[in-house]
Amino acid sequence: MVVNKYSILLPTYNERENLPIIIWLIVKYMTESKLDFEIIVIDDGSPDGTIEVAKELERIYGSDKIVLRPRASKLGLGTAYIHGLKHATGNFVIIMDADLSHHPKFIPQFVELQEKNNYDIVTGTRYVGDGAVFGWDFRRKLVSRGANFLTQILLRPGVSDLTGSFRLYRKEVLEKIVSSCVSKGYVFQMEMIVKARLFNNTIGEVPITFVDRVYGQSKLGGSEIIQFAKGLLYLFATT
């Protein structure tokens, strides 16, 4: 029997406060579920000294568990995943945000569903079943639901949460998808799952609770909405 190993990619930028907590939580849940794992921290030269804290954590948990692969400057999410993937030794890769909005307690559920149905991808979803959010006002919920509805109509992706970024991938599947994506930000997550469908990858969903940024500000302004609309139209016309 092949024993699976899970490489968790954590791109960070100014996550000095959150990084120790997220790593502590990942270690806790992966250890409890007896899953083999490594955490790859890709810090893009955070001015708040995230990397100093990351080094401390590497010392505490060991360099086999905490792998530091920093970059000199902010280069975007897509290249962060490519960079992290190069150093990933697991046969599965988990991507999640380091800001505590994604709780590591869901990872064992992702793994269980993947094993049960032999999925290529398992994605967290805020929009179905017990999926829920915390810290969103009416406007934020309305924009989110509206954008999601529009996306479902235009792209019919067969996945309920396209902009979420808490997902488990087979490593070779993620490598193929990432290298075919060109978008940035929110749209990047959307493009990844749409491309996955194009490549006929199988996708499972696990409802998650999403607790919006405990520290720091999560923003959704006019420019994010315009960026989203452009990305949506781009995917509508090209995929």
Question: Of 2-10, 49-57, 177-185, 218-226, which segment contacts another protein by CB under 8 A?
Answer: 49-57
Nearest approach in angstroms of CB 75 to another protein is 28
153 Cα distance to chain centroid:
24
- Give residues with Cβ within 8 angstroms of 165, minimum separation 6: 95, 96, 97, 102, 189
Site for another protein in 190-229 (CB under 8 A): 209-211, 214
Nearest approach in angstroms of CB 171 to another protein is 28
In this structure, the strands spanning 92-95 and 5-12 are: parallel
Residues 72, 41 contacting (CB under 8 angstroms): no
Q: Does 145 bind another protein (CB under 8 A)?
A: yes
The site map against another protein for 95-124 (x = CB under 8 A) is -----x--x---------------------
Comparing CB distances to another protein, the nearer of 20 and 76 is 20
- Give residues with Cβ within 8 angstroms of 10, minimum separation 6: 19, 22, 23, 39, 40, 41, 42, 96, 98
User: CA-based Rg of the chain, rounded to a whole angstrom?
Assistant: 17
**Three-point CA angle 98, 92, 188, nearest 5°:** 55
Nearest approach in angstroms of CB 48 to another protein is 12
Return the axis-axis angle of helices 171-180 and 77-87, rounded to nearest 10°: 150
Site size for another protein (CB under 8 A): 39
Comparing CB distances to another protein, the nearer of 178 and 235 is 235
Q: Using the 8-state DSSP alphabet, how is residue 7 labeled?
A: E
Question: Of 32-40, 85-93, 142-150, 177-185, which segment contacts another protein by CB under 8 A?
Answer: 142-150
- What is the contact surface with another protein in residues (CB under 8 A)? 17, 20-21, 24-25, 53, 56-57, 60, 100, 103, 127, 130-136, 138, 141-142, 144-146, 149, 153-156, 209-211, 214, 235-239
